[in-house]
Amino acid sequence: MMTQTDARRQVLVVGASLAGTRTVQGLRALGHTGPVTLIGAESELPYDRPPLSKNLLKGAWSEPAAEGIRLATPAELDGLGVTLRLGVPAVDLDTVARLVRLADGTTVEYDVLVIATGAAARPSPWRPVSGVHQLRTLADARALAERLALGEPVVVVGGGFIGTEVAAAAVGHGCRVTVVDPLPEPMTRLVGPEIAGSLVDLHRRNGVSTRFGVGVVGIEGKAGDLSVELEGGERLMASTAVVGIGSVPATDWLAGSGLRLDGGVVTDRFLRAQGAEDVYAIGDVARWPHPGRGVDVRAEHWTSASDQARYVATALTNGVEEGYAPTDYVWSDQYDWKVNAFGWRDPAGTSIVVGEVSADGRAAVVHADADGIACGAVTVNWVRALNQARRLLPAAPSAESVAEVIRGLG
């Protein structure tokens, strides 16, 4: 199947972050000459999110460093000939009239619509007067950095990548940190059981306390004087609470549009939204059929958003014959550990550990599916092993043969 292309069509991209910005850049790079409009709810120029929980949060807040995470300069966007409308969210989509209505009452027409509205932090169910922070935007990071710089006690609710990265940053500011998660081993879902335990040890060695397997019942008080109540009655006193309990796809504005919404905008394998013609969905907002795993996924990963933008830009300019093939890559920085995951982990499969995850060690875990075929790998502080896995996995080798190659790296 070949998608239809026409370089003069009017393309409207809603969501001016990674997926949206890479789409408009890709369209121009690949020769789209028609009008392109990029709409963003935030008034910020497009910026990159991973540094928000890493470099930007670690030291004293630096506005020049924050400027350094922009995905494009105003001059570059000007040069692309893109109409940029920032600080004005889309509020409604009419797929019959091919119109998007914005919060200021204006409408924008399109021939092709690319939905790239990403996700928002899952709202905190606990809302004391003040002191609860979440981390999704640059404004969130700025506000949180101010609190961490006080060096006062922090409770992090949620032991996912963002929660644990915030915990590591808070420790660096001299804060006493406790991470709470209702799952007994929250990091297992991120990196698998082989590495999860070592990651928890790493946090504990750095002074982080954990309360795993126990949920939060409530948070009371105000910034500087919070009480976080856990199931079972324990109370943790904190100056700041950070709630990192996942994200929700930003699809509210699409209610009633006729698009299929089910844990994101549901697409076909060409990333075309189901329920309307000439509408695509990419990045954190999209739920697409994963060819290897045989299920629909909403990947909340940088590489996925960036690759999907490139794919759709190609589809709209040169056409594509094959469905979107994902890279499945994610990384996390925790203290001086670089954790990388490529591919996926099959719950019905097995895993082979190479090396030893210790204080200053490096390790790789190769995941096999139920037939012993390598389907993913997680590495700690071992870029060469990661690169080997990335190189080998597309040919579907046995997990044992991939492990053998990695062992050979010495």
Sites of contact with ligand FAD (CB under 6 A): 14-20, 39-42, 49-50, 52-53, 89-90, 116-119, 135-136, 162, 250, 253, 283-284, 300-303, 305, 330-332
Distance CA 352, CA 350 (A): 7
Whether the CB-CB separation of 213 and 188 falls below 8 Å is answered with: no
Q: Minimum CB separation from ligand FAD for residue 88, in Å?
A: 7
Rank residues 17 and 317 by Cβ distance to ligand FAD and give the closer one.
17
Q: Which two tokens stand for residue 310?
A: 């490139």
Distance CA 187, CA 197 (A): 8
Q: How far is CA 100 from CA 13, 17, 39, 217, 355, in A?
A: 10, 18, 10, 41, 53
Rank residues 32 and 136 by Cβ distance to ligand FAD and give the closer one.
136
Residue in 233, 202, 227 with CA at minimum distance from that of residue 215: 233
Whether the CB-CB separation of 151 and 238 falls below 8 Å is answered with: no
Distance CA 186, CA 366 (A): 20
Whether the CB-CB separation of 241 and 132 falls below 8 Å is answered with: yes
Q: Judging by DSSP bridges, how do beta strands 107-109 and 99-102 pair with one another?
A: antiparallel
- HSE-up of 91 (CA within 13 Å, CB side)? 9
Work out the end-to-end distance of the chain between its first and last CA atoms, rounded to an integer number of angstroms: 45
Rank residues 119 and 316 by Cβ distance to ligand FAD and give the closer one.
119
Q: Minimum CB separation from ligand FAD for residue 213, in Å?
A: 25
Rank residues 17 and 354 by Cβ distance to ligand FAD and give the closer one.
17
Rank residues 119 and 202 by Cβ distance to ligand FAD and give the closer one.
119
Q: Minimum CB separation from ligand FAD for residue 232, in Å?
A: 30
Residue in 113, 90, 77 with CA at minimum distance from that of residue 251: 90
Q: Minimum CB separation from ligand FAD for residue 370, in Å?
A: 27
Q: Minimum CB separation from ligand FAD for residue 407, in Å?
A: 27
Rank residues 240 and 332 by Cβ distance to ligand FAD and give the closer one.
332
Distance CA 126, CA 132 (A): 8
Q: Minimum CB separation from ligand FAD for residue 381, in Å?
A: 15
Q: Minimum CB separation from ligand FAD for residue 247, in Å?
A: 8
Rank residues 314 and 398 by Cβ distance to ligand FAD and give the closer one.
314
